[in-house]
Amino acid sequence: MTRASEPATPSAGDLLAALAGATEGLVWFQDREGRLLYANDTTLKLLGLSAAEALGRKAVEFDTFADDGRRAAEARIYAGSPIEIVHGNRVLKDGAIRHYRMTMAPLRDAQGGIAGMVVQTADETEALRNAKILEGIGAAVPDLVFAKDLDLRFIYANRAFLTASGRTLDEVIGRRVEEILKRPNAAYIQSDRDVIETGRGDEIQTTVVTADGVRRIYLTRKFPLRAADGSIFGLTSVAADITEDFDARAELTRTAARLETISNVTPNIIWSSLKGGQVDFVNERWFAFTGLPADDSGNWQAGVHPDDVGVMLDAGRDGDASGAQMEFECRLRGRDGSYRWVLGRAILHDDPDGGGPRWTGSFTDIEELVDARRQAALALQARAEGEAHLQSILDSVPDPMVILDSTGIVRAFGTAAEAQLGWPAAEIIGRHVGVLIPEVAAAAAREAPPGSPFGGVVWRDRLLVAQRRDGSTFPFELSVGVVQSGGRTFYTGFVRDQTERLRAEAQAQALRTELAQVARLSELGSMASALAHELNQPLAAAANFVQGSARLLTAPGPDLGLATEGLGQAVDQIARAGDSIRRLRDFLDRGVSQRKPEALRELIDEALTLALAGDGQIRVKRRISPRGATVLADRLEIQQVLVHLVRNAVEAMAGREPRVLEIVARPQPEGLARISVSDSGPGVSEGVMHQLFQPFVSTKPNGMGVGLSICRAIVEAHGGRIWADESAEGGATFHFTLRATAGPG
Ligand code: ADP
């Protein structure tokens, strides 16, 4: 190193030389021709020359850094530019290329003219390379890379940082973070300080709203910047955007946790498998139910009824092939060895983790459902059998049969009923019975709700009128049975068509009337002599009275009083004969059967008068209780019965002594009156006793044997009964009953 000869007061040149000597870079002076006026030690060392050897030589001899840029810069210096900086490469002797930064400044003489220049070059090779590498890294990484000095002012920021912050490099470098961000994070700044103070790296997660207003989450890692001597002169930071990752991870964690909770809270068994692959997940329910070891979810077949494994495998194969939802029923084996029916369902979906298509399925316990189904099937079957059974019964009943519920709705309808009423069972079932019985419909309309299926209509012991589907009607009798079934009351009604019976009855009645007429005529025939006597007697007596009176009137001094009395007697006798004729005429009068309350006493007296005409030798006893007893009767018909019984008695007693006829009337239970006719005859002969009331049974030479059969027909038509037994006298007694009425009249 060159030193000044007067150390006490170093010249300006010496000072300059000392300064240049202390410089690490190359420093030299050159004149306008480019000859070296001075070179510092670094330069001399590089040249391998002593100062004496180097001075006066042209700089360009050793300076390969001589391109156009440098020459232009030199020209600008000589033209008056105060300073010029150029970058350039220099090829060293060993061929290595170094990068230099060359700073030039004019060297002025005493007159102020430019005598030459001072050149200072710094080897920037390392710095440049580092800078380039840093720049490349900074540009290449998506993370925000930046550095700050001890004052926490930015000394570096990469492109990602600038983009995220929306700032230019000029707006960032030299500034603090609080000058850049709207809402600086105090913890973040503190962490910067800590790194600088402690020299230890740090990591911090911050949420930042970027220039375009988007919330981002950064994970920033920080390291101290250390100089070669280890002192800290700042810190570098790398901030990674973990927003997506963070969100996804948080979401994933949340979802997974939620799913697991759900899957364990649900009473269902949940499982999952890869398409066509092994089951790789089952929830806790599976293990709880099957009792299978929790580390073996793949061995699902152990938890399934052996007969149903095939069902599940088939469902899985079909599902794999079609991609459609799987659904099947199977039995799972519980830890106690019992089986329960479950409904298996699964859907094929894309694995969100990218594992390809995946089945997720569940098993729902349907044991109760299956059981209920089974019960329902049994019940249905039983009902079908019951209904079939019922229908077969209905079909086999010859009478039309209808089954009603307690409100009168038709629940079943037999085949015979279909034929009889013209309604198909299918149409009438479910409708009200009033459709069939207008009287019931009318009653049901009055009384709501109906207290009985028939709406209060009396159906016992009486004729009702049914209406067929075509509107025609017929009389019928109903017999009803009550059935309890399943806690409900049903009524079975048999409809008995009475059309035929009524017609037959009408015909029988007509025949009977005719026959009775004949019988009365024949009765009269047998009574002819007695009747002749009956008429003859009063008429003969009347004739005698008239003759006697005539004599009294024609005699001298006629006794008018006596004659008048005689004529009055004659009139009485004629009236008596007239009465007899009137009775006869009445008896023969055919008339129409007409029942009304009749006094028993009168009925019996008239019959006796008629039947006993001319038979004065018979002792008649007559007892009627109560005295005013009345019966519901057709007067003429009952008289015919009485006349006939009395005539039979008279005939039976013919030629016998004593001849006693007794007529007794007595009340009977159930609102009946019994009339008994007894005689003192020989009684009914053995042979005819059992068939007395059959027609054409007679023991008499001229008897027709129809009398008693007509009597029976008449009595039964009146709702009574007729029979015979022995009388107290040893003769015959004939009894018959009639309906008694409340009293006389
Ligand atoms: P008929 O008088 O024409 O024979 P009925 O039917 O009146 O026909 O009587 C049938 C038979 O019953 C008589 O033939 C007789 O044998 C017997 N019979 C009827 N009434 C009496 C009676 N009061 N006593 C004995 N037998 C009687």
Residue 217: beta bridge partners? 207
**Confidence check: pLDDT of 744 > 50:** no
Task: Please indicate whether residue 417, judged by its CB atom, sits closer than 6 Å to ligand 1.
Answer: no
For ligand 1, atom 21, the nearest C-alpha belongs to: 648
Measure the CA–CA gap between 91 and 65, rounded to whole angstroms: 8
Separation between Cα atoms, residue 476 and residue 479, nearest integer Å: 10
List all residues 6 or more positions away from 524 whose beta carbon is below 8 Å from its beta carbon. Answer: 531, 584, 587, 588
- Residue 253, pLDDT > 80, answer no
Question: What is the three-class DSSP state of 573?
Answer: helix
Give me the pLDDT at residue 204, please.
92
* Residue nearest to ligand 1 atom 13, measured at CA: 698
* Percentage, residues of the chain above pLDDT 90: 20
351 CA → ligand 1 middle, Å: 115
Q: Is the pLDDT of residue 83 over 80?
A: yes
- Which of 433, 399, 430 minimizes the C-alpha distance to 417? 399
698 alpha carbon to ligand 1 midpoint, in Å? 6
CB-based burial label for 154 (10 Å; 0-12, 13-18, 19+): buried
Structure tokens at 575: 């009236």
695 CA: nearest ligand 1 atom: 6
Tell me the per-residue pLDDT of 311-342, one tens digit each, with 9 for 90 and over: 888 888 888 888 888 888 899 999 999 999 99
Contact 647, 526 (CB under 8 A): yes
In angstroms, the CA 645 to CA 179 distance is 148
Ligand 1: atom nearest CA of 644 is 7
Across 48-62, 276-290, 410-424, 508-522, which has the greatest mean pLDDT? 410-424
Q: Alpha carbon of 734 to those of 243, 554, 702: distances in Å? A: 126, 57, 22
d(CA 327, CA 319): 9
Q: Relative to the CA of 703, which ligand 1 atom is closest? A: 3
Supply the residue whose CA is at minimum distance from atom 3 of ligand 1. Answer: 703
Which uninterrupted H or E stretch holds 207?
Answer: strand 202-209
Please write the tens of the pLDDT for every residue from 452-489.
Answer: 788 777 777 788 899 999 988 998 888 888 877 767 78
pLDDT tens, residue by residue, 525-564: 666 666 676 677 788 888 888 988 998 888 888 888 888 9
701 Cα: distance to centroid of ligand 1 (angstroms): 11
Nearest to 413 by CA among 430, 425, 405: 425
Tell me what pLDDT residue 38 has. Answer: 86
Ligand 1 geometric centre to CA of 692 (Å): 7
Q: Is the CB of 46 under 6 A from ligand 1?
A: no
Atom number of ligand 1 nearest to Cα 708: 6
CA 5 from centre of chain: 121
Q: Which long-range contacts (CB under 8 A, 24 or more apart) does 191-197 make?
A: 191/222, 192/148, 192/152, 192/222, 192/235, 192/237, 193/152, 195/222, 195/223, 195/224, 195/235, 196/150, 196/152, 196/224, 196/232, 196/234, 196/235
pLDDT value at residue 652: 92
Please tell me the distance between residue 645's alpha carbon and the centre of ligand 1 in angstroms.
9
- The answer on pLDDT for 723 being more than 90 is yes
Residue 352 pLDDT: 66
Kindly give the pairing relationship between strand 232-241 and strand 144-149.
antiparallel
The whole-angstrom separation of Cα 26 and Cα 45 is: 10
Q: For residue 216, what pLDDT is reported?
A: 84
CA 570 to each of CA 536, 551, 558, 567: distance values in angstroms, whole numbers, following the listed order: 13, 14, 19, 5
Query: Is 279 a pocket residue for ligand 1 (Cβ < 6 Å)?
Result: no
Which helix (H) or strand (E) element contains residue 487? Answer: none
Residues 6 or more apart in contact with residue 575 via CB below 8 angstroms: none
For residue 711, the CA-to-ligand 1 centroid distance in Å is: 12
pLDDT band at 414 (very low <50, low <70, confident <90, very high): confident
Q: Considering only residues 242 and 8, tell me which one the structure prediction assigns the higher pLDDT.
A: 242
> Which residue's CA lies nearest to atom 19 of ligand 1?
648
Q: 3-class SS at 648?
A: helix
684 lines ligand 1 (CB under 6 A): yes
Q: What is the mean pLDDT of the chain?
A: 83
Return the pLDDT at 203.
Answer: 92
Query: Does a cis peptide bond (omega within 30 degrees of 0) precede residue 626?
Result: yes
Q: Is 699 in the pocket of ligand 1 (CB under 6 A)?
A: yes
* Both tokens assigned to 67: 């391109």
Ligand 1 and 681: CB distance under 6 A: yes
568 forms beta bridges with none
CA distances from 274 to 264, 315, 346 (A): 21, 15, 12
Ligand 1 atom showing the smallest separation from residue 693 Cα: 6
| CB proximity list for 620: less than 8 A, separation 6 or greater | 608, 612, 661, 662, 663
Q: Average pLDDT, stretch 6-11?
A: 63
Mean pLDDT of 564-576: 89
Domains recognised in the chain with CATH numbers: 16-123 (3.30.450.20), 126-262 (3.30.450.20), 269-365 (3.30.450.20), 397-497 (3.30.450.20), 592-745 (3.30.565.10)
The SS3 assignment for 106 reads strand
Question: Can you tell me the distance from the alpha carbon of 552 to that of 534, in angstroms, rounded to the nearest whole number?
Answer: 28
Amino acid letter, 500: E
Residue nearest atom 7 in ligand 1 by C-alpha distance: 707
Contact (CB, 8 A) for 342 and 350 = no
- Tell me if 688 CB under 6 Å of ligand 1: yes
- Tokens representing 216 are 């981002």
pLDDT value at 4 more than 50: no
**Tokens describing residue 505:** 């009855």
Name the pLDDT band for 745 (thresholds 50, 70, 90): very low
**670-681 core/surface letters (b: 16 or more CB in 10 A; e: else):** eebbbbbbbbbb
Half-sphere exposure of 175 (CA within 13 A, CB side): 13
User: What is residue 97's predicted lDDT score, i.e. its pLDDT?
Assistant: 77
- Average pLDDT for residues 379-408, to the nearest whole number? 76
Question: Where does the pLDDT of residue 300 fall: very low under 50, low under 70, confident under 90, or very high at 90 and above?
Answer: confident
Q: What local confidence, expressed as pLDDT, does residue 378 receive? A: 78
Closest CA relative to residue 576, chosen from 615, 538, 543: 538
Q: Enter the tokens of residue 221.
A: 């890692």
Give the residue from 630, 576, 639 showing the smallest Cα distance to 606.
639
pLDDT at 386 over 80: no
Structure confidence at residue 136 (pLDDT):
81
pLDDT of 13 reads 72
pLDDT above 70 (res 59) = yes
pLDDT at position 450 is 54
Which pLDDT band holds residue 373 (cuts at 50, 70, 90)? Answer: confident
699 CA distance to ligand 1 middle (Å) = 7
Sorted by sequence, the CB contacts under 8 Å of residue 661 that are 6+ apart come out as 612, 618, 619, 620, 621, 646, 649, 650, 653, 677, 678, 679, 680
**Collapsed DSSP state (helix, strand, coil) of residue 470:** coil
Q: Does the pLDDT of residue 34 top 60, yes or no?
A: yes
CB 570 within 8 A of CB 598: no
Predicted confidence (pLDDT) per residue in 99-141, tens digit: 888 889 998 888 888 989 988 888 888 777 777 777 787 788 8
Is 141 buried (19+), middle (13-18) or exposed (0-12) by CB count in 10 A?
middle
- Give the tens place of pLDDT for each residue, 148-202: 999 999 988 888 888 888 889 889 999 998 888 777 788 899 999 999 999 999 9
Q: Stretch 249-258: mean pLDDT, rounded?
A: 74
